[in-house]
Amino acid sequence: MRWPVGPSLSDPRRILRVFPWQKATLAHLADPGPAAKPVLCGGFCLTLREATAFARTGCPTFGALTRAQGVQCDTLRVAGPALLIHTDDVSDPRLDEFRDLTTADRRPDRPGGRGLVIAEGTVVVRRLVESSYPVRALLGVQRRIDELSDVLGGLDVPAYVTSADVMARVVGFHLNRGVLATADKAPQPSVAELVAGARVLAVLEGVGDHENLGALFRNAAALGVDGVLLGPGCSDPLYRRSVRVSMGHVLRVPFTVASDAGEWEEALRTLRASGFRLAALTPRPGAAALWEAAGSGKVALMLGSEGHGLSEAALAAADVAVSIPMADGVDSLNVATTGAVAFYELTVRREGAGDHVGS
């Protein structure tokens, strides 16, 4: 096979493009601008794996292209607009969004950082891509990027491909899941928007543990809760650990934040004005059994911190105190477990929302 050689191929801006067909047809763009026209190379077809290998070393079937032929690409368009960029440079500044994730003051998902959402693992990254959060970039080993090829077609973002060793040195630890993605935060709904059309909401106060918060969002998604209101003392549900523990479901369950006392009080008033009954979960004596007190109308289920539960102010604001009856000698459950039991009671059992296959 003869490859066209000329000034256009020596242009370092040249991009190899692989179109989203069943097999990828190789083309090159002399000019990467919007007016560029692809020049097909003799119907040469590549699989995704073959195409990415070509971007690094040339096509192994037909022989590597030599430097004298002027091939200068480390960028490949695969399955649509997503850009695969191979790098083995630990100090590559393009990877800074993924750098030193063990150092709290440099993490982009922490206060003082860049306010980014970070997803890890193919399952969570896939959910991020399918969410309303604008994806910025991916970083992963080849195998994990390959596994995501079917959802990369709608993305016009870079996907940096590197080795597990380089990735570990950039991130600051070995990542078994093999892929990360960053995204900008999406706008949150207002409280009024959150309650519109909802029948069951979770209202959280003081849930500061990131893993419990992530588990609550996963439970809410699995059991059909319509949204989550985060009150004072709650951690950020878009913190990397919360996103991971939620299996990415925090990206699909609507939530809003009422972090100060005034916003919290106003949010509870909005819930009540919208027809919600505020049911406060508590292990205190005298609380009614959840299934006896919930009724058949709209319910906002209030859950408190892992240690002390709901504050006195929250309990006073509730319409009813409810509990989950337990065996002798046990007074409470972990907040995420409590949430799962209560969500099931209010959605699957009461509303008949269980006619679906879980995942």
Three state DSSP letters for 108-156: CCCCCCCCEEEEECHHHHHHHHCCCCCEEEEEECHHHHHHCCCCHHHCC
Q: What are the structure tokens assigned to 289, written together?
A: 């059994």
Exposure class string for 25-59: b at 16+ Cβ within 10 A, else e: bbbbbbeeeeeeeeeebeebebebebbbbbbeebb
Give the span between the Cα atoms of 347 and 95, in whole angstroms: 43
- Quote the DSSP letter at residue 237: T
Do residues 127 and 66 both lie within one domain? Answer: no
Q: What are the structure tokens assigned to 91, written together?
A: 């100090």
Sign of CA dihedral 16, 22, 23, 27: negative
Is 139 part of any domain?
Answer: yes
Do residues 63 and 105 both lie within one domain? Answer: no
Domain final residue, candidates 148, 163, 184: 184
Give the span between the Cα atoms of 332 and 347, in whole angstroms: 21
CATH number at 292 reads 3.40.1280.10
Rounded percentage of the chain residues whose pLDDT exceeds 90: 52
Q: How confident is the model at residue 110 (pLDDT cuts 50, 70, 90)?
A: low
Q: What is the per-residue DSSP string for 42-106?
A: EEEEE-HHHHHHHHHH-BTTTBPPPGGGT----EEE-SSSPEEEE---TT-GGGGGGS-TT-GGG
Task: Please provide the size of the chain in residues.
Answer: 359
Do residues 145 and 220 both lie within one domain? Answer: no
Segment 5-34 mean pLDDT: 33
Is 108 part of any domain?
Answer: yes
Beta bridge partners of 116: 184
pLDDT digits 0-9 by tens, 166-215: 999 999 998 888 999 999 999 999 999 999 999 999 999 999 999 999 99
- Asked which of 101-110, 305-314, 329-338, 350-359 is least confident by mean pLDDT, the reply is 350-359
Q: How confident is the model at residue 113 (pLDDT cuts 50, 70, 90)?
A: low
Give the span between the Cα atoms of 76 and 56, in whole angstroms: 9
pTM reported for the whole predicted model: 0.75
Is 358 part of any domain?
Answer: no
Rounded percentage of the chain residues whose pLDDT exceeds 70: 70
Is 38 part of any domain?
Answer: yes
Given a contact cutoff of 8 angstroms between Cβ atoms, the answer to whether 346 and 301 are in contact is: yes
- What is the reported pLDDT for 295? 67
- The residue type of 221 is A
Do residues 130 and 163 both lie within one domain? Answer: yes
Q: How confident is the model at residue 150 (pLDDT cuts 50, 70, 90)?
A: confident
Do residues 67 and 161 both lie within one domain? Answer: no
Is 359 part of any domain?
Answer: no
Do residues 27 and 115 both lie within one domain? Answer: no
Do residues 91 and 175 both lie within one domain? Answer: yes
Per the prediction, the chain carries an average pLDDT of 77
Q: How confident is the model at residue 286 (pLDDT cuts 50, 70, 90)?
A: confident
- What is the reported pLDDT for 156? 82
**Is the pLDDT higher at 84 or at 165?**
165
Is 356 part of any domain?
Answer: no
Segment 306-328 mean pLDDT: 89
pLDDT tops 90 at residue 264: yes
Distance of CA 125 to the CA centre of its chain: 6
- Asked which of 54-63, 217-226, 240-249, 326-335 is least confident by mean pLDDT, the reply is 54-63
pLDDT tops 70 at residue 17: no
CA atoms within 13 A on the CB side of 191: 22
Is 357 part of any domain?
Answer: no
Distance of CA 214 to CAs 168, 209, 220, 221, 309, Å?
A: 24, 9, 10, 11, 18
Do residues 148 and 58 both lie within one domain? Answer: no
Do residues 126 and 15 both lie within one domain? Answer: no
Give the span between the Cα atoms of 342 and 303, in whole angstroms: 10
pLDDT tops 80 at residue 7: no
Is 2 part of any domain?
Answer: no
Quote the domain boundaries for residue 121.
86-184
Tally of CB atoms within 10 A around 265: 14
Domain final residue, candidates 56, 78, 100: 78
How many domains are contained in the chain? 3
Given a contact cutoff of 8 angstroms between Cβ atoms, the answer to whether 79 and 152 are in contact is: yes
Do residues 223 and 347 both lie within one domain? Answer: yes
Do residues 198 and 344 both lie within one domain? Answer: yes
Do residues 229 and 290 both lie within one domain? Answer: yes
